[in-house]
Amino acid sequence: MITKVISFLIPLFKGMHVSDYYAAVFAEGIAFLLVLLVGVLLMYLARFIIKKTVYKVILKSKSKYDDQIVNNKVLMRLCLLIPPIMAMKTLNATLPDFPNMRHFVMGFCIIADIIIITMVLFSVVNAGNDMYNMHQTSKRKPITGVVQTIKIILIIFCVLLIISFLMGKKVSTVIIGLGTLSAVLLLLFQNVILGFVGSIQLTVNDMLRIGDWIVMDKADGTVTEINLTSVKVQNFDNTITTIPTSSLVTNQFTNWRGMSEGGGRRIMRSITIDTSSVKFCTPEMIDRFKNIEKIHQFIEEKEADIAEYNKANNIDTSNIINGRQQTNLGVFRAYILAYINANPKLNHNMTMMVRQLQPNEFGIPLQVYAFSMDKEWVKYEEIQSDIFDHIIAAAPLFDLKIFQRKV
Protein backbone atom coordinates (compact mmCIF):
# COMPACT_ATOMS: atom_id res chain seq x y z
CA MET A 1 0.00 0.00 0.00
CA ILE A 2 2.79 2.44 0.94
CA THR A 3 4.74 1.55 -2.19
CA LYS A 4 1.68 2.23 -4.32
CA VAL A 5 1.23 5.64 -2.68
CA ILE A 6 4.86 6.55 -3.39
CA SER A 7 4.62 5.23 -6.96
CA PHE A 8 1.53 7.40 -7.46
CA LEU A 9 3.00 10.58 -5.94
CA ILE A 10 6.40 10.59 -7.68
CA PRO A 11 4.98 10.88 -11.25
CA LEU A 12 2.48 13.41 -9.94
CA PHE A 13 5.25 15.68 -8.64
CA LYS A 14 7.34 15.13 -11.80
CA GLY A 15 4.35 16.28 -13.78
CA MET A 16 4.53 19.51 -11.80
CA HIS A 17 8.10 19.95 -13.17
CA VAL A 18 9.68 18.92 -9.85
CA SER A 19 13.14 17.28 -10.16
CA ASP A 20 13.50 13.54 -9.58
CA TYR A 21 15.27 14.06 -6.25
CA TYR A 22 12.69 16.40 -4.75
CA ALA A 23 9.84 14.37 -6.19
CA ALA A 24 11.15 11.39 -4.22
CA VAL A 25 11.62 13.57 -1.12
CA PHE A 26 8.06 14.88 -1.24
CA ALA A 27 6.49 11.53 -2.11
CA GLU A 28 8.31 9.51 0.54
CA GLY A 29 7.88 12.24 3.15
CA ILE A 30 4.12 12.43 2.54
CA ALA A 31 3.89 8.63 2.66
CA PHE A 32 5.71 8.58 6.02
CA LEU A 33 3.48 11.31 7.42
CA LEU A 34 0.43 9.36 6.29
CA VAL A 35 1.71 6.28 8.12
CA LEU A 36 2.34 8.40 11.21
CA LEU A 37 -1.12 9.94 10.93
CA VAL A 38 -2.70 6.49 10.62
CA GLY A 39 -0.72 5.41 13.70
CA VAL A 40 -2.01 8.38 15.70
CA LEU A 41 -5.58 7.68 14.57
CA LEU A 42 -5.19 4.01 15.53
CA MET A 43 -3.86 5.11 18.94
CA TYR A 44 -6.97 7.23 19.58
CA LEU A 45 -9.18 4.46 18.24
CA ALA A 46 -7.57 1.97 20.61
CA ARG A 47 -8.04 4.39 23.53
CA PHE A 48 -11.69 4.89 22.59
CA ILE A 49 -12.31 1.12 22.41
CA ILE A 50 -10.54 0.54 25.75
CA LYS A 51 -12.61 3.26 27.45
CA LYS A 52 -15.87 1.90 26.10
CA THR A 53 -15.18 -1.78 26.79
CA VAL A 54 -12.32 -2.65 29.12
CA TYR A 55 -12.74 0.37 31.43
CA LYS A 56 -16.48 -0.18 31.78
CA VAL A 57 -15.90 -3.81 32.77
CA ILE A 58 -13.22 -2.78 35.27
CA LEU A 59 -15.28 0.01 36.86
CA LYS A 60 -18.36 -2.24 37.16
CA SER A 61 -16.43 -5.03 38.89
CA LYS A 62 -16.74 -5.40 42.68
CA SER A 63 -13.00 -5.35 43.18
CA LYS A 64 -11.45 -1.93 43.69
CA TYR A 65 -7.95 -3.11 42.91
CA ASP A 66 -8.40 -3.13 39.14
CA ASP A 67 -9.70 0.46 39.36
CA GLN A 68 -6.12 1.53 40.02
CA ILE A 69 -5.19 0.40 36.49
CA VAL A 70 -7.74 2.92 35.19
CA ASN A 71 -6.73 5.67 37.64
CA ASN A 72 -3.04 5.38 36.75
CA LYS A 73 -3.66 5.19 32.95
CA VAL A 74 -1.67 1.99 32.40
CA LEU A 75 -3.55 0.98 29.23
CA MET A 76 -3.74 4.56 27.93
CA ARG A 77 0.04 4.85 28.03
CA LEU A 78 0.44 1.49 26.35
CA CYS A 79 -1.52 2.90 23.40
CA LEU A 80 1.22 5.51 22.93
CA LEU A 81 3.42 2.75 21.51
CA ILE A 82 1.24 2.37 18.39
CA PRO A 83 2.53 5.37 16.32
CA PRO A 84 6.30 4.73 16.80
CA ILE A 85 5.87 0.97 16.23
CA MET A 86 3.94 1.59 12.99
CA ALA A 87 6.57 4.08 11.88
CA MET A 88 9.38 1.57 12.56
CA LYS A 89 7.56 -1.21 10.70
CA THR A 90 7.10 0.90 7.54
CA LEU A 91 10.37 2.85 7.45
CA ASN A 92 11.94 0.70 4.71
CA ALA A 93 8.86 1.21 2.56
CA THR A 94 8.33 4.92 3.25
CA LEU A 95 11.93 6.19 3.05
CA PRO A 96 13.72 3.73 0.72
CA ASP A 97 15.86 6.35 -1.01
CA PHE A 98 17.00 8.23 2.11
CA PRO A 99 18.96 5.89 4.39
CA ASN A 100 20.23 8.71 6.64
CA MET A 101 16.74 10.02 7.21
CA ARG A 102 15.50 6.45 7.75
CA HIS A 103 18.25 5.82 10.31
CA PHE A 104 17.43 9.10 12.13
CA VAL A 105 13.70 8.36 12.29
CA MET A 106 14.39 4.79 13.41
CA GLY A 107 16.56 6.06 16.24
CA PHE A 108 13.92 8.61 17.23
CA CYS A 109 11.23 5.88 17.32
CA ILE A 110 13.41 3.56 19.43
CA ILE A 111 14.09 6.34 21.95
CA ALA A 112 10.37 7.15 22.01
CA ASP A 113 9.61 3.46 22.70
CA ILE A 114 12.08 3.41 25.60
CA ILE A 115 10.55 6.54 27.14
CA ILE A 116 6.97 5.30 26.68
CA ILE A 117 7.76 1.89 28.17
CA THR A 118 9.33 3.68 31.17
CA MET A 119 6.14 5.73 31.52
CA VAL A 120 4.06 2.52 31.40
CA LEU A 121 6.24 0.97 34.11
CA PHE A 122 5.77 4.14 36.17
CA SER A 123 2.01 3.70 35.89
CA VAL A 124 2.29 0.02 36.88
CA VAL A 125 4.38 0.95 39.95
CA ASN A 126 1.89 3.70 40.92
CA ALA A 127 -1.01 1.28 40.50
CA GLY A 128 0.73 -1.28 42.69
CA ASN A 129 1.41 1.40 45.32
CA ASP A 130 -2.24 2.52 45.28
CA MET A 131 -3.40 -1.09 45.66
CA TYR A 132 -1.07 -1.52 48.63
CA ASN A 133 -2.33 1.73 50.18
CA MET A 134 -5.86 0.28 50.20
CA HIS A 135 -4.74 -2.06 53.00
CA GLN A 136 -4.39 -1.02 56.64
CA THR A 137 -0.87 -2.43 56.53
CA SER A 138 0.17 0.60 54.49
CA LYS A 139 -0.38 2.80 57.57
CA ARG A 140 2.04 0.71 59.59
CA LYS A 141 4.52 -0.03 56.83
CA PRO A 142 4.38 2.65 54.11
CA ILE A 143 6.34 1.83 50.94
CA THR A 144 6.45 5.31 49.42
CA GLY A 145 10.23 5.40 49.80
CA VAL A 146 10.60 2.03 48.07
CA VAL A 147 8.28 3.14 45.25
CA GLN A 148 10.29 6.33 44.73
CA THR A 149 13.50 4.31 44.67
CA ILE A 150 12.07 1.99 41.99
CA LYS A 151 11.13 5.06 39.93
CA ILE A 152 14.63 6.47 40.24
CA ILE A 153 16.08 3.12 39.12
CA LEU A 154 13.69 3.07 36.14
CA ILE A 155 14.76 6.60 35.16
CA ILE A 156 18.45 5.70 35.45
CA PHE A 157 17.94 2.53 33.41
CA CYS A 158 15.97 4.50 30.79
CA VAL A 159 18.77 7.07 30.49
CA LEU A 160 21.40 4.30 30.26
CA LEU A 161 19.45 2.58 27.47
CA ILE A 162 19.18 5.82 25.50
CA ILE A 163 22.89 6.62 25.98
CA SER A 164 23.93 3.09 25.01
CA PHE A 165 21.73 3.27 21.89
CA LEU A 166 23.12 6.65 20.84
CA MET A 167 26.70 5.49 21.44
CA GLY A 168 26.10 2.12 19.80
CA LYS A 169 27.47 0.23 22.80
CA LYS A 170 26.15 -2.26 25.34
CA VAL A 171 24.57 -1.02 28.55
CA SER A 172 27.24 -2.80 30.61
CA THR A 173 29.95 -0.91 28.71
CA VAL A 174 28.21 2.40 29.44
CA ILE A 175 27.90 1.51 33.12
CA ILE A 176 31.60 0.66 33.30
CA GLY A 177 32.39 3.94 31.58
CA LEU A 178 30.26 5.81 34.10
CA GLY A 179 32.13 4.11 36.95
CA THR A 180 34.67 6.91 36.85
CA LEU A 181 31.84 9.29 37.74
CA SER A 182 30.74 7.24 40.73
CA ALA A 183 32.12 9.75 43.22
CA VAL A 184 30.17 12.55 41.54
CA LEU A 185 27.03 10.42 41.40
CA LEU A 186 27.33 9.54 45.09
CA LEU A 187 27.69 13.24 45.89
CA LEU A 188 24.65 14.12 43.80
CA PHE A 189 22.47 11.33 45.18
CA GLN A 190 23.73 11.24 48.78
CA ASN A 191 20.43 12.60 50.13
CA VAL A 192 18.49 10.06 48.09
CA ILE A 193 20.71 7.20 49.30
CA LEU A 194 20.52 8.32 52.94
CA GLY A 195 16.77 8.79 52.60
CA PHE A 196 16.33 5.35 51.09
CA VAL A 197 18.30 3.69 53.89
CA GLY A 198 16.39 5.74 56.46
CA SER A 199 12.97 4.88 55.02
CA ILE A 200 13.90 1.18 54.99
CA GLN A 201 14.93 1.36 58.66
CA LEU A 202 11.78 3.25 59.64
CA THR A 203 9.59 0.68 57.85
CA VAL A 204 11.39 -2.50 58.92
CA ASN A 205 11.69 -1.42 62.56
CA ASP A 206 8.12 -0.05 62.60
CA MET A 207 9.41 3.25 63.98
CA LEU A 208 6.95 5.44 62.12
CA ARG A 209 3.55 5.11 60.45
CA ILE A 210 1.15 7.38 58.61
CA GLY A 211 -1.12 8.98 61.21
CA ASP A 212 1.40 8.78 64.08
CA TRP A 213 1.66 11.80 66.37
CA ILE A 214 5.34 12.71 66.70
CA VAL A 215 7.30 15.47 68.39
CA MET A 216 10.71 16.45 67.01
CA ASP A 217 12.33 19.88 67.15
CA LYS A 218 9.69 22.22 65.68
CA ALA A 219 7.47 19.39 64.48
CA ASP A 220 4.54 18.52 66.72
CA GLY A 221 1.69 16.86 64.88
CA THR A 222 0.47 14.01 62.69
CA VAL A 223 2.58 12.26 60.05
CA THR A 224 0.83 12.69 56.70
CA GLU A 225 3.45 11.36 54.29
CA ILE A 226 6.60 9.26 54.38
CA ASN A 227 8.62 9.35 51.18
CA LEU A 228 12.16 8.68 50.02
CA THR A 229 13.81 11.86 51.23
CA SER A 230 11.41 13.45 53.70
CA VAL A 231 8.58 12.98 56.18
CA LYS A 232 5.74 15.51 56.23
CA VAL A 233 4.16 16.38 59.57
CA GLN A 234 0.97 18.44 59.86
CA ASN A 235 1.33 20.38 63.09
CA PHE A 236 -1.64 21.14 65.29
CA ASP A 237 -1.68 24.74 64.03
CA ASN A 238 -2.13 23.27 60.51
CA THR A 239 1.37 24.23 59.38
CA ILE A 240 3.46 21.59 57.61
CA THR A 241 6.94 20.64 58.79
CA THR A 242 9.19 18.62 56.49
CA ILE A 243 11.82 16.45 58.18
CA PRO A 244 14.61 14.62 56.29
CA THR A 245 13.95 10.87 56.54
CA SER A 246 17.52 10.16 57.60
CA SER A 247 17.16 12.60 60.55
CA LEU A 248 14.45 10.42 62.10
CA VAL A 249 16.94 7.56 62.26
CA THR A 250 19.95 9.51 63.50
CA ASN A 251 18.16 11.95 65.86
CA GLN A 252 15.69 11.51 68.70
CA PHE A 253 11.97 12.00 68.26
CA THR A 254 8.91 11.15 70.35
CA ASN A 255 6.20 8.95 68.88
CA TRP A 256 2.88 9.01 70.77
CA ARG A 257 1.53 5.93 69.03
CA GLY A 258 1.80 3.88 72.23
CA MET A 259 -0.54 6.32 73.94
CA SER A 260 -2.99 6.15 71.03
CA GLU A 261 -3.01 2.36 70.99
CA GLY A 262 -3.00 2.02 74.79
CA GLY A 263 -5.88 2.07 77.22
CA GLY A 264 -5.76 5.78 77.92
CA ARG A 265 -3.99 9.09 77.63
CA ARG A 266 -1.96 10.05 80.65
CA ILE A 267 -2.89 12.90 82.96
CA MET A 268 0.08 14.03 85.03
CA ARG A 269 -0.52 17.52 86.34
CA SER A 270 0.01 19.13 89.71
CA ILE A 271 -1.08 22.08 91.79
CA THR A 272 1.15 23.70 94.43
CA ILE A 273 -0.17 23.90 97.98
CA ASP A 274 0.94 26.84 100.13
CA THR A 275 3.04 25.28 102.90
CA SER A 276 1.71 27.70 105.55
CA SER A 277 -1.84 26.33 105.12
CA VAL A 278 -0.94 22.72 105.98
CA LYS A 279 -1.93 21.75 109.56
CA PHE A 280 -3.15 18.97 111.82
CA CYS A 281 -6.87 18.32 111.79
CA THR A 282 -8.82 19.47 114.84
CA PRO A 283 -11.92 17.53 116.04
CA GLU A 284 -14.05 20.26 114.51
CA MET A 285 -12.31 19.82 111.17
CA ILE A 286 -12.74 16.06 111.34
CA ASP A 287 -16.47 16.42 111.99
CA ARG A 288 -16.74 18.82 109.06
CA PHE A 289 -14.83 16.50 106.71
CA LYS A 290 -17.04 13.57 107.69
CA ASN A 291 -19.92 15.32 105.98
CA ILE A 292 -18.15 14.88 102.64
CA GLU A 293 -19.62 11.68 101.21
CA LYS A 294 -16.61 10.58 99.19
CA ILE A 295 -14.29 10.45 102.22
CA HIS A 296 -16.77 9.80 105.07
CA GLN A 297 -15.80 6.12 105.31
CA PHE A 298 -12.10 6.86 104.83
CA ILE A 299 -12.06 9.33 107.74
CA GLU A 300 -13.88 6.99 110.10
CA GLU A 301 -11.56 4.10 109.29
CA LYS A 302 -8.51 6.34 109.56
CA GLU A 303 -9.67 7.78 112.90
CA ALA A 304 -10.27 4.29 114.26
CA ASP A 305 -6.84 3.15 113.08
CA ILE A 306 -5.11 6.18 114.61
CA ALA A 307 -6.99 5.85 117.91
CA GLU A 308 -6.08 2.17 118.13
CA TYR A 309 -2.41 2.93 117.43
CA ASN A 310 -2.20 5.74 119.95
CA LYS A 311 -3.95 3.65 122.60
CA ALA A 312 -1.76 0.64 121.98
CA ASN A 313 1.36 2.78 122.38
CA ASN A 314 0.06 4.76 125.41
CA ILE A 315 0.45 8.06 123.62
CA ASP A 316 -0.68 11.22 125.37
CA THR A 317 -2.92 12.88 122.78
CA SER A 318 -3.54 15.99 124.88
CA ASN A 319 -0.78 17.52 122.78
CA ILE A 320 -1.67 17.24 119.13
CA ILE A 321 1.94 16.71 118.11
CA ASN A 322 2.09 13.40 119.96
CA GLY A 323 1.29 10.16 118.16
CA ARG A 324 -0.40 9.92 114.82
CA GLN A 325 -2.77 12.62 113.61
CA GLN A 326 -4.51 13.42 110.37
CA THR A 327 -3.60 16.54 108.38
CA ASN A 328 -5.82 18.58 106.15
CA LEU A 329 -3.39 17.89 103.28
CA GLY A 330 -3.61 14.12 103.85
CA VAL A 331 -7.42 14.27 103.93
CA PHE A 332 -7.38 16.40 100.78
CA ARG A 333 -5.19 13.83 99.02
CA ALA A 334 -7.65 11.10 100.01
CA TYR A 335 -10.53 13.22 98.71
CA ILE A 336 -8.86 13.82 95.32
CA LEU A 337 -8.11 10.10 94.98
CA ALA A 338 -11.74 9.23 95.82
CA TYR A 339 -12.89 11.89 93.34
CA ILE A 340 -10.86 10.56 90.40
CA ASN A 341 -11.77 6.96 91.31
CA ALA A 342 -15.41 7.95 90.89
CA ASN A 343 -14.79 9.63 87.54
CA PRO A 344 -16.22 7.40 84.75
CA LYS A 345 -14.10 9.14 82.11
CA LEU A 346 -10.87 7.75 83.55
CA ASN A 347 -9.46 4.27 82.96
CA HIS A 348 -9.64 2.51 86.31
CA ASN A 349 -7.62 -0.46 85.03
CA MET A 350 -4.53 1.73 84.76
CA THR A 351 -2.46 3.47 87.42
CA MET A 352 -4.35 6.11 89.42
CA MET A 353 -2.79 8.00 92.29
CA VAL A 354 -2.38 11.36 93.99
CA ARG A 355 1.13 12.03 95.22
CA GLN A 356 3.31 14.72 96.74
CA LEU A 357 6.34 15.84 94.78
CA GLN A 358 9.51 17.34 96.21
CA PRO A 359 8.63 20.55 98.11
CA ASN A 360 10.17 23.67 96.64
CA GLU A 361 10.29 27.41 97.23
CA PHE A 362 6.69 27.73 95.99
CA GLY A 363 5.18 25.10 98.26
CA ILE A 364 4.19 21.44 98.05
CA PRO A 365 3.30 20.14 94.54
CA LEU A 366 0.33 17.76 94.67
CA GLN A 367 0.19 15.67 91.51
CA VAL A 368 -2.70 13.75 89.94
CA TYR A 369 -1.55 10.73 87.94
CA ALA A 370 -4.28 8.97 85.92
CA PHE A 371 -5.33 8.02 82.38
CA SER A 372 -8.19 9.47 80.40
CA MET A 373 -10.36 6.97 78.54
CA ASP A 374 -10.82 9.42 75.68
CA LYS A 375 -7.52 10.03 73.85
CA GLU A 376 -8.80 12.66 71.42
CA TRP A 377 -7.00 15.90 72.21
CA VAL A 378 -9.98 18.22 72.80
CA LYS A 379 -11.91 15.68 74.90
CA TYR A 380 -8.76 14.82 76.86
CA GLU A 381 -8.15 18.46 77.73
CA GLU A 382 -11.79 18.85 78.80
CA ILE A 383 -11.55 15.87 81.16
CA GLN A 384 -8.27 17.10 82.61
CA SER A 385 -9.58 20.65 83.05
CA ASP A 386 -12.77 19.45 84.74
CA ILE A 387 -10.72 17.50 87.29
CA PHE A 388 -8.49 20.45 88.16
CA ASP A 389 -11.36 22.94 88.17
CA HIS A 390 -12.89 20.83 90.93
CA ILE A 391 -9.62 20.36 92.82
CA ILE A 392 -8.85 24.09 92.84
CA ALA A 393 -12.39 24.93 93.99
CA ALA A 394 -12.33 22.22 96.69
CA ALA A 395 -8.97 23.14 98.27
CA PRO A 396 -10.33 26.01 100.46
CA LEU A 397 -12.93 23.62 101.94
CA PHE A 398 -9.98 21.76 103.49
CA ASP A 399 -8.44 24.99 104.80
CA LEU A 400 -5.72 24.79 102.16
CA LYS A 401 -4.37 27.57 99.99
CA ILE A 402 -3.05 27.09 96.49
CA PHE A 403 0.18 29.00 95.92
CA GLN A 404 -0.10 31.96 93.60
CA ARG A 405 2.72 34.40 92.98
CA LYS A 406 1.79 37.89 94.07
CA VAL A 407 2.67 40.67 91.66
| HEC readout, 197-261 | HHHHHHHHCCCCCCCCEEEECCEEEEEEEECCCEEEEEECCCCEEEEEHHHHHHCCCEECHHHHH
- Best-predicted range by mean pLDDT among 105-119, 262-276, 308-322, 381-395? 381-395
Residue 213 sits at the vertex; the CA angle it makes with 128 and 242, to the nearest 5 degrees, is: 70
Domains of the chain (ranges, CATH numbers) = 1-134 (no CATH), 138-261 (2.30.30.60), 265-398 (no CATH)
Q: Euclidean distance between the first and final Cα of the chain, in Å? A: 100
pLDDT above 70 as % of the chain: 81
pLDDT of the residue at 392: 95
Q: In the 8-state DSSP scheme, what is residue 282?
A: P
Q: Which residues pair with 242 in a beta bridge?
A: 232
Confidence at residue 11, expressed as pLDDT on a 0 to 100 scale? 59
Mean of the per-residue pLDDT values of the chain: 81
Rounded CA separation 206/198 (Å):
12
More confident residue, 236 or 189: 236
pLDDT at 358: 94
- Are the C-beta atoms of 108 and 191 separated by less than 8 Å? no
For residue 3, what pLDDT is reported? 58
Choose the weakest-confidence range: 84-88, 293-297, 308-312, 353-357: 84-88
Lowest mean pLDDT, pick from 136-150, 243-257, 310-324, 383-397:
136-150
Burial class (CB in 10 A: 0-12, 13-18, 19+), 228: buried
- Position 242 scores a pLDDT of 87
Instruction: Look at 35-44, 174-183, 225-234 and tell me which has the smallest mean pLDDT.
Output: 174-183
* pTM of the predicted model as reported, rounded to 2 decimal places: 0.50
Higher-confidence residue of 71 and 2: namely 71
Residue 356's pLDDT band, with cuts at 50, 70 and 90, is: very high
Instruction: Using the predicted structure, report yes or no on whether residue 43 has a pLDDT greater than 80.
Output: yes
Chain segment 93-121, per-residue pLDDT in tens: 666 656 666 777 788 888 888 898 998 99
pLDDT at 21: 60
